[in-house]
Amino acid sequence: MINPLSSSFVIGFLGAGQLARMSALQAFRFGMQVAVFSDRPEFEPVQFMTPRSFSGSFSDAESMMEFARSCDIITLENEFIDSEILKELRDRSGTPVFPSPESFALIENKRIEKETFESAGIPVTPYAVVRSADDLHRFGQTCGWPFLLKSSKGGYDGYGNETVKSPEEAERAFTKLGGYAGHEILAEGFVNFTHELSVQVARNETGYVVYPCCETVQENHICVAVKAPAPVSPEIQKKAQELALLATEAIDGKGIFAFEFFLTTSGEVLLNESAPRPHNSGHYTIEGCVTSQFENHVRAVCGLPLGSPALMKPAAVMINLLGTRNQSAVIEKAEALLAEPNGHLHHYGKLESKKGRKMAHYTLLGDDVEETYLRAKELSHGIEI
C-alpha cells in the first residue's frame, strides 16, 4: 500500500450517507482522494463531494469491482452487506478492507453479534432466535411481556424493530418483519434500565483509543440527543469503556467501532448493540474531542497513529435534527443555533427531507452536562427541516 498521506492515495467508502461524508471530510484534510460506492437510487451526500462515485448492489461483488480496484483501501459506512461479499471483493480486487471481512463476520447480524460477545465474557441483553408462534409464546412466558422483535440483519433507527405486548401482537410483528418468509428474527427481553450508554473505540496496529462514555437519549427507537460525558458515576463510565475495548479486541477490530449499553436498575452494564463504523452517538466528537471519531476512522483503517479522544470542554451535547415534513431539504429558523457561542450546526446535504429522517445535528459545548443539554434543547426547539 502506498503512503496514506500521498495525494494519490484513494480511500473508498462502501455507503454514501452522512457518516461517510463526515469521514470523507477528514480524509480530504489528509490530502487523500475519496471514492464512494452507493447502493441507493437517489444521489447521496458523499456523491456531491467526489468525482470517484460508483453505484450498484451490495449483494453482488462484481458490481463493486471497478470501485474496489480504484481504491488503495476500503472501509464501511454501514453494515448492510454480507461478510462473504466483502471477502470476495477483497480477494478478487486485491484491495484491503477494514474492518476486515473476518472481523465483520463476527458481528454481521444481531444473533452472531450476541454469540460473539457472550463467548468473550461480555454480558448482553437476554435474547433468543424465534422461528414460530410457539417460540414467540415461549419467549414471552420466559422473559415476560412486552419484549422486542428485531430483524437479525439490517434494522436501524426503529426500522426492523417491533415492540410486542401480547402473543397476537408478536405474531403480527413476526409476519411483518418477514419471519414466515425466512428472515431470521431475534427476540430481546426488555431490561429495567436507568441510562442508555455508548462508547466509541478506535483500534489498529499502532494501538487503540477509547472515547468518553456518553448517554444517548432515545424516543421511538431513535436517538434524539447525546450527552458527554454520561451523567453516571466514574465507575460506570469506566466499566462501559472497558467492555467496549474488550468487545473490539474480541473481533480483532481495525477501524472505529461503537458499542451501546444499558445501565440496569441493579447497576449492571449490558451490551446491547455494536456498529463497525462511525456512529450517531459519536457526532459530538467533531468539536467535542481533540480527535473526532471520523478522523480516527480514517487514521485507524489507514494504519496511521491514532489521535486523542479527550474532551475539549467539560461537557458536549449533540441534538439530532430530524425531518419535520416531506419536502426539499432546507433548515429553517436556525438563526439562534448559529449565533450561540460554542454551538456547531452540521447539515448532511440530503436532497429530500422526510419526517423523522436524520437530516442534521447540532453540537453545543459547555461546562455542565445538564445545563448544556437544556440550552441545546432550547436552541433547537422549533427548528424545521
Query: Contact 48/111 with Cβ under 8 angstroms?
Result: no
Among 296, 253, 261, CA closest to 26: 296
Please choose, from the candidates 335, 383, 327, 324, the residue with its C-alpha nearest in 3D space to the C-alpha of residue 358.
324
Beta bridge partner(s), residue 350: none
Give the helix ranges, DSSP H, for the chain.
18-29, 61-69, 83-93, 101-105, 110-119, 133-143, 167-176, 234-250, 285-288, 293-301, 335-339, 369-380
DSSP code of residue 384: B
Query: Per residue of the chain (385 residues), what is the pLDDT tens digit?
Result: 799 999 999 999 999 999 999 999 999 999 999 999 999 988 999 999 999 999 999 999 999 999 999 999 999 999 989 999 999 999 999 999 999 999 999 999 999 999 999 999 999 999 999 999 898 999 989 998 999 999 987 655 556 788 999 999 889 999 999 998 888 999 999 899 999 999 999 999 999 999 999 999 999 878 999 999 999 999 999 999 999 999 999 999 999 999 999 999 999 999 999 999 999 999 999 999 999 999 999 999 999 999 999 999 999 999 999 999 999 999 999 999 999 999 999 999 999 999 999 999 999 999 999 999 999 999 999 899 9
Instruction: Tell me if residue 37 falls in helix, strand or coil.
Output: strand
Could you tell me the sign of the dihedral formed by the alpha carbons of 88, 91, 92, 93, in that order? positive
Which burial class, exposed, middle or buried, applies to 139 when counting CB atoms under 10 A from its CB (0-12, 13-18, 19+)? Answer: buried
Cβ-contact 359, 350 below 8 angstroms? yes
**Which long-range contacts does 93-97 make (Cβ < 8 Å, 24+ apart)?**
93/65, 93/68, 93/69, 94/69, 95/12, 95/68, 95/69, 95/71, 96/1, 97/73
Q: Are 77 and 17 in contact (CB under 8 A)?
A: yes
Contact present, 16 and 40 (Cβ < 8 Å): yes
Domains with residue ranges and CATH for the chain: 10-98 (3.40.50.20), 126-189 (3.30.1490.20), 193-380 (3.30.470.20)
Residues 6+ positions from 89 with CB-CB distance below 8 Å: 61, 64, 65, 68, 74, 95, 97
Complete DSSP assignment for 71-103: -SEEEES---S-HHHHHHHHHHH---EES-HHH
Amino acid at 298: V
In the DSSP assignment, the letter for residue 380 is H
Q: Which residue has the cell 469506566?
A: 238
Whole-angstrom Cα distance, residue 325 to residue 348?
16
